Structure 1
Amino acid sequence: MSFITDEKQPHTHLEVDPYDHAGGMSGDSDTDVPPAYDDAFSSAPSTVQLQIHAVGYDYGQALTGNTLENIAVNRVDSTGELVYTSVRLSKSSNSCALVRGQDTSRSLISTIYRWGPGRPPRMRIFGGSTNPGVAVSVDDAINNDHLQCELVEVKSRNMFSRTQRFATSFGTFEWRYADRAERKQPENNADSLLVCERTDGGAGGAGGAGGAGGKSGKRGVQVAQLVRNEAMRTPGTTRWMGGNGGRLVLDLSGWAAAAPDGGKGAAVVTPQDVEAFLVASCICMLKREADRFKDSAIASVV
């Protein structure tokens, strides 16, 4: 999935408390302009590049407790538009809601984290074909259990796996960590590479049919990847941190042919719906990575 282009990274990073991460940044810093990449897909209209700005945790921050961070997601183009913000309400909970821009009156997707073993996170998908035209505040999206939505459980492939599975009405997706060979491909050159594949055999589009889909992956069709290296990870973070952001590249070609009228009332998932889901699920992966990083840091000093 080698379609990274050479665009200036916007420096928008939203935090509730600007001192939460003070003094915690060191090591190899990022440059504003990433290196050029040869890319056969860069001109495809269904290819989207976004920059996820998440600080995550270094070793010291992991030992001092949770931070309250809102995560900004910007378009990688000449405008640097703020496309999404992932909003948290409580420092003691990872539960969050994804909104478009900074409009906290209309949540797109919320991710609910629950205490205790055997209780994986749940995603609530609002709007789109599920609940069109209904405004859901961030507070309701996180705390109201009685809203109309699509409920998606986030499941591990097994108890030892970092791979996470998301079964939705518009396809089943798995986010996984790429192996060394994938990370070191010239088009990636990544310290860390997260890959999302659609594993249910569908190619996208209305009702899960139609469209060409992306390239073949290990277990399905690759639809997204998050690249983290010196040029593309969140400025001020290093490869030794957990849960930090990077360059998210999406291939939405499988949904580009979705009919706008829904085909006689059939539920239609648009590329915009899938884009929001892939952003929210990627952020979920980063939060789980941050939790593992914190647990490992604490265990190392106990």
Structure 2
Amino acid sequence: MSTTIVADELHTVPSNSSLPTYSSATGIELADISPSTSSDSSPAPPAYDQTTTVTPQDTEAVPSSDGGPEPSSPGDFFTPTVHLQIETTGKQWLSLPLGTRPDPIAIYHVEAGSWSAESVPAYVSLRFSRNDGSCHLLRGDDASQTPVCTTLYRFGPGKPPIFRPSQALAPFHVPTPPASSGSSSTEVSLQEEENGHREVDVSAADLQIVSKSLTSRTQILKTPVGTFQWRYATRKERATVPGADQLLVCELVQTVALAGGKKTEENETRIAQFVRGKETRTRGTGRTTAGNGGRLMLDVMRWVDSKDGRREAVEVLVVASCVCMLKKEVDRRRMQQMVILAAGASGGA
């Protein structure tokens, strides 16, 4: 066996090489640093205000009629998660003060900013007759045509419209008492309303939408899932929504206790808005049309994780109450037309 020895190669250093030269240095003793010396020598930090508020540029506090800030604005917390297109022609100014035809009101899902009239509607509102504003709200894909909510209108002052949600919606489920031979059912069928026009019995599950005051168009709806209010937006609020000639706002009203617990205040959070403009209103209608269709936007994220079906219930109530607001616009238009005709008749006499 041969042995191989590997030796490191030695590098010789020239004898004439010299070490590098260094300059002489003088020792310097550092002075002790004390807290007082440090604070005196370092510059003072800049002065700041105690509170600094950063406001987004697209958000503006809009004063309300009572001098306080407007409850909500589209740029604050409103992020729509559901978009619906409500298609109805409403009532024109140049028309007789008669009831509109009981045409079905189709409500379509809007996806990626577009919708098709040939698609299956998400909801359909069916009126009982021309002389009756009561209607059923159905799901467009439900072959059984079971109403998810029924809106009932009663004749006479002091009788606001009634919403009768389906018992299939969990938040509105009320145990049915045992039927007796002498009691009559409170269920309202389509045939009864068309033929009998009987007085509607108000049950415990019925929800009434009432005016905030005699001179206000704001409507209040108290439900098991919260209190909602529909109101007409101010001019400044409309300016924050692109393409909105008319803007209806639906807010969730919550009562909160102030510091100390002795006083309370109401907080309004926008959960829906109904926009009508050149690109969103029903074709063939204009800015002066009453009760015409438009784009309904909902923000139901606060209920998306609920286990009792609140998200579905809120969507149904918002859609039904929005259709009710359009019905009220038509009623006001008919009243205005009657006043004009009466004034013309008295002037001609």
Question: Normalising by the residue count of structure 1, what TM-score does the alignment of the two structures yield?
Answer: 0.70
- Identity over aligned pairs, percent: 36
Partner of 1:32: none
Partner of 1:192: 246
Distance 1:197 1:140, change over 3 A: farther
Give 5+ residue unaligned stretches, structure 1.
1-38, 203-217, 260-267
Distance 1:290 1:79, change over 3 A: closer
**Counterparts of 1:225 and 1:120 in 2: how far apart (Å)?**
22
Distance 1:276 1:138, change over 3 A: farther
CA drift at 1:200: 2.3
Distance 1:301 1:183, change over 3 A: same
Partner of 2:270: 222
Partner of 2:190: 139
Query: Conserved in 1, the CA contact under 8 Å of 2:108 and 2:115?
Result: no
**SS of match in other structure, 2:333:** helix
Query: Conserved in 1, the CA contact under 8 Å of 2:136 and 2:150?
Result: yes
Query: Conserved in 1, the CA contact under 8 Å of 2:255 and 2:267?
Result: no
1:123 and 2:123 matched = no
Q: Residues 199-227 of structure 1, C-alpha deviation per residue, up to 9 Å, x if partnerless?
A: 0249xxxxxxxxxxxxxxx9501000000
Distance 1:40 1:47, change over 3 A: farther
Q: What residue identity is the alignment partner of 1:97?
A: H
Partner of 1:235: 283
Query: Conserved in 1, the CA contact under 8 Å of 2:151 and 2:161?
Result: yes
| Higher mean C-alpha deviation, range 99-108 or range 221-230 | 99-108
Select which of 65, 75, 81 maps to 2:109.
Answer: 75
Q: What residue identity is the alignment partner of 2:212?
A: R
Aligned residues: CA RMSD: 3.0
CA drift at 1:148: 7.6
CA drift at 1:141: 9.8
**SS of match in other structure, 1:111:** strand
1:55 and 2:106 matched = no
CA drift at 1:254: 1.1
1:27-42 to structure 2, matched below 5 A, reads: none
**Counterparts of 1:200 and 1:140 in 2: how far apart (Å)?**
39
Partner of 1:3: none
Q: What residue identity is the alignment partner of 2:248?
A: L
Report which structure shows greater RCO (CA 8 Å, sep ≥6): 1
Query: Conserved in 1, the CA contact under 8 Å of 2:98 and 2:334?
Result: no
Q: Residues 159-217 of structure 1, C-alpha deviation per residue, up to 9 Å, x if partnerless?
A: 111000000000000000001111122x3331110000000249xxxxxxxxxxxxxxx
| Higher mean C-alpha deviation, range 153-162 or range 102-111 | 102-111
CA drift at 1:140: 7.5
Q: What residue identity is the alignment partner of 1:98?
A: L
CA drift at 1:146: 6.9
**Counterparts of 1:87 and 1:49 in 2: how far apart (Å)?**
21
Query: Conserved in 1, the CA contact under 8 Å of 2:99 and 2:131?
Result: no
Question: Normalising by the residue count of structure 2, what TM-score does the alignment of the two structures yield?
Answer: 0.61
CA drift at 1:270: 3.0
1:151-170 to structure 2, matched below 5 A, reads: 151-170=206-225
Distance 1:48 1:137, change over 3 A: farther
| Higher mean C-alpha deviation, range 64-73 or range 187-196 | 64-73
**Counterparts of 1:192 and 1:199 in 2: how far apart (Å)?**
22
1:265-276 to structure 2, matched below 5 A, reads: 268-276=308-316
Select which of 116, 132, 137 maps to 1:98.
Answer: 137
**Counterparts of 2:126 and 2:137 in 1: how far apart (Å)?**
6
CA drift at 1:64: 4.6
**SS of match in other structure, 1:72:** strand
Distance 1:140 1:105, change over 3 A: farther
**Counterparts of 2:337 and 2:153 in 1: how far apart (Å)?**
21
**Counterparts of 2:148 and 2:204 in 1: how far apart (Å)?**
10
**Counterparts of 1:141 and 1:149 in 2: how far apart (Å)?**
21
**Counterparts of 2:249 and 2:300 in 1: how far apart (Å)?**
14
